[in-house]
Structure 1
């Protein structure tokens, strides 16, 4: 451990996966002067916010754990949501993080004044920090659909991230709006108990088949006895090949890997859906992986149940008794679940963030959120983002991303610890160069191949990482300090 010359005060915003990672890593370095501010009542981030029926991770469970805290107890290859939440709760206890988390506390503003960050909470408390780590995540501001008449619906309706567990679903007429991973999981679960269920889709999704593999007690014991078996699931030949295939597919429209994925999802549709009319209704008119891939072992079975209907098209309006489509058809409903996603362009907002000279992050992000290699912003010194804008959020495992980003950020913090500088931020030229290269590359990815998705900004440019996993690992390994301004004092 290096000899630190300068004690630093840290504020971490968010006690989800990334915020806990930052706290753990700081404690390992001996940096114990930090507070994690969390707007919710416990840890877990999106796994606290979401509790809908069928909730599961679409990343293999053993890959969705911290590299330093693997878990041999997962019940399935794709872990259910409650187990993931329990994992993060256990991590918080194991690493004694809760004593340094201020729960039910939302940050109203962060302002860089006289070389330090001044933080004010929504309940009026003040704090000060040398370094701010924004680990607010992406999927935490629910996007409510702009559907005429929604408020006039006579029954209960709610967003998937605000699930109302007081509502009973057995035998009810259920409408599910939205068909990303969340909508697919909800339909797969509720179709078993609904009287009738209508799945409303603006456009159908390609479904990637995945194994419904449950781990037996013997499997778990094998994982306990031999951690190498966990590592094989995480980074063995099969996992590496899967990651390499998907990476090559999204960055090159003409790649054989994308052609292979297209063949897999088309065959899945053809082999799974017996009724040719339903099959065509469920056939997307865009390339596979243009939208975030949906993985499911159960959805195609669910939509073929006699009590399930798929409604593809535009909703005209919601009425007191149900939903009327633009084609005039009407669906009587008792309850509506809104699987309509999140406002993914918010990141740290609505928090006010002002950098050097009172420069506003809202102004810098007026067109779309920007950050140098997704982790830092010019004129906002000592302000670092985990899973920030234009990172590989839809490309690779989020925990792997956050761990790599922390390795990068920690090297910048080392400059502050050692007294090399008082503050560090990327130059404006570095951000502009990164954004120019990234934008041109993003236009050549599958995300720009002709579909509507939450990856696209107002100009239709994907706000994603457009390069390979190997390149991400390369640039995260060591910061290029030529692209940074090292400031001695303010």
Structure 2
């Protein structure tokens, strides 16, 4: 058996997942490049008040490292970060992480990948895996005068905890999942919270109870119960989530339930302002335990007039009103289409990944790119995101990658890459399936690429697992191992 050398870019949830499974397979010659000084990815970067998972924690975890001690149905962010950190330590992954090392370039040498970090150090690998995440690069709005603001201004993913909030006047730009969680946390703490709403989002307000002592005891002492809970949540989400995306009675019922939530808002003017013009689920559904309660607090004002500019004292809207504030928070999301950019990646014939993606980012079954041998991606183009567990997606993708690495170990191949024809066929299927989904009902969101193409998975998670469970040899160009 040959021993592969693997480079993984990113020590977030996906990178830790692959590291743990490589070690379980007896593969220990791998390096995880992490540009910061800590692991955990998005759960390391996002520490804003109220941050929590919007997927049940019993399902938002690795099947090979379940945590029986989740404090709530949907755990707070610090608890999730602690979980991934603990897994990386307990399973031996952390010793393979090269902290403070940012990858600058990846280039094919003819037989292997040469990975060069920003400090100039270079090393060759048999496989390169991108685990850079999708909610990683903060997106800053282009608003005139932003740099002139006299108070404290920061993106939600770069929260400045040195800034006092209690009793302050806070202006918040953005009402997506992050904005909703911030509103729910700050409404009772600040003197005034000005919510500058660009586009209203559909919200499903649901309780997020603490785990009872008895339930916690069951999870710790009865492993079968813990496993049953994981699969119970999986089956529940997989039964209803796909049906909400396609026409039919479940989507109609789900849409009715989501719209019905707006009845919690008593003021008809505010209710109208919070009503999206699009279908529920067309954009990411916001899951919150207290959004509609918080948004009606006397300390909160929802402003629907567009932002004209930022001034030293606050935010000036198009109706001429100045909204004074001490703190300006930008909950304006991420560049979900950056993938492993700004890393420069060059394939065998000198083609860069940027060139290959000139029209739009694409990948064979979300994990591999034509013309780039022995290269895999976590959460690549068209990975199923929606309101589903990315941990489950990462595990399925990791299993697919390991199947190919095992073939390399057995000297069945030296290199592999999907063919252009197979990748095009995959996208033909996506294009054919898209009109039947809620994303084709006329909305804009980060689910759609710059060219208007769908960048999420248009089918049920069950089909995704099926695609990841078997290698279609005819879809790949391979080179045999030298014997």
Fold similarity call, TM over 0.5: yes
The 5 Å alignment of 1:81-96 reads: 81-96=77-92
Superposed CA deviations along residues 292-317 of structure 1, whole A, max 9, x for unmatched, are 11001101111111010111242111
Residue in 2 that maps onto 1:417? 409
Distance 1:145 1:439 in 2: 31
Give the superposition deviation at 1:328.
Answer: 2.2
Distance 2:363 2:466 in 1: 18
Distance 1:449 1:188 in 2: 30
Distance 1:127 1:291 in 2: 41
Give the superposition deviation at 1:395.
Answer: 4.9
Normalization by structure 1: what TM-score?
0.96
State which of 298, 308, 313 in structure 2 corresponds to 1:321.
Answer: 313
Contact 2:11-2:33 within 8 A present in 1 as well: yes
Contact 1:443-1:462 within 8 A present in 2 as well: no
Distance 1:230 1:442 in 2: 36
Superposed CA deviations along residues 60-100 of structure 1, whole A, max 9, x for unmatched, are 01111100111111110000000001101110110122211
Q: Give the secondary structure class of the aligned counterpart of 1:384.
A: strand
Distance 1:116 1:37 in 2: 17
Residue in 2 that maps onto 1:207? 203
Distance 1:140 1:21 in 2: 17
Give the superposition deviation at 1:177.
Answer: 0.6
Give the superposition deviation at 1:239.
Answer: 4.6
Q: Is 1:258 equivalent to 2:258 in the alignment?
A: no
Contact 2:285-2:387 within 8 A present in 1 as well: no
Q: Is 1:444 equivalent to 2:436 in the alignment?
A: yes
Q: Is 1:244 equivalent to 2:239 in the alignment?
A: yes
Structure 1 spans left out of the alignment, 5+ residues: none
Structure 2 spans left out of the alignment, 5+ residues: none
Contact 2:39-2:85 within 8 A present in 1 as well: yes
Give the superposition deviation at 1:487.
Answer: 1.2
Superposed CA deviations along residues 248-307 of structure 1, whole A, max 9, x for unmatched, are 221x1x22221112111111111x111111111111111000101100110111111101
State which of 336, 352, 355 in structure 1 corresponds to 2:347.
Answer: 355
Residue in 1 that maps onto 2:73? 77
Give the superposition deviation at 1:367.
Answer: 2.4
Contact 2:449-2:455 within 8 A present in 1 as well: yes
Give the superposition deviation at 1:469.
Answer: 1.6
Residue in 2 that maps onto 1:485? 477
Superposed CA deviations along residues 439-469 of structure 1, whole A, max 9, x for unmatched, are 2322432122112211112232221111112
The 5 Å alignment of 1:99-248 reads: 99-236=95-232, 239-248=234-243
Q: Is 1:381 equivalent to 2:373 in the alignment?
A: yes
Normalization by structure 2: what TM-score?
0.97
Contact 1:174-1:198 within 8 A present in 2 as well: yes
Residue in 1 that maps onto 2:400? 408
Q: Give the secondary structure class of the aligned counterpart of 2:296.
A: coil
- Alignment size in residue pairs: 482
CA spacing shift, 1:448–1:91, aligned 2, 3 Å = same
Q: Give the secondary structure class of the aligned counterpart of 1:63.
A: coil
Superposed CA deviations along residues 298-339 of structure 1, whole A, max 9, x for unmatched, are 011111110101112421111111111122222111111100
After the TM superposition, which segments of 4 or more aligned residues of structure 1 sit over 6 Å from their partners?
A: none
Contact 1:345-1:368 within 8 A present in 2 as well: no
Q: Is 1:37 equivalent to 2:33 in the alignment?
A: yes
Q: Give the secondary structure class of the aligned counterpart of 2:154.
A: strand
Distance 2:90 2:338 in 1: 31
Contact 1:448-1:460 within 8 A present in 2 as well: no
Contact 2:422-2:475 within 8 A present in 1 as well: yes
Q: Give the secondary structure class of the aligned counterpart of 1:61.
A: coil
Q: Give the secondary structure class of the aligned counterpart of 2:292.
A: helix
Contact 1:137-1:347 within 8 A present in 2 as well: yes
Q: Give the secondary structure class of the aligned counterpart of 1:357.
A: coil
Q: Give the secondary structure class of the aligned counterpart of 1:133.
A: strand
Distance 2:480 2:160 in 1: 52
Residue in 2 that maps onto 1:346? 338
State which of 271, 276, 279 in structure 2 corresponds to 1:284.
Answer: 276
Moved more, 129-138 or 410-419: 410-419
Q: Is 1:473 equivalent to 2:465 in the alignment?
A: yes
Contact 2:50-2:76 within 8 A present in 1 as well: yes
Contact 1:247-1:395 within 8 A present in 2 as well: no
CA RMSD of aligned residues (A): 1.3
CA spacing shift, 1:485–1:473, aligned 2, 3 Å = same
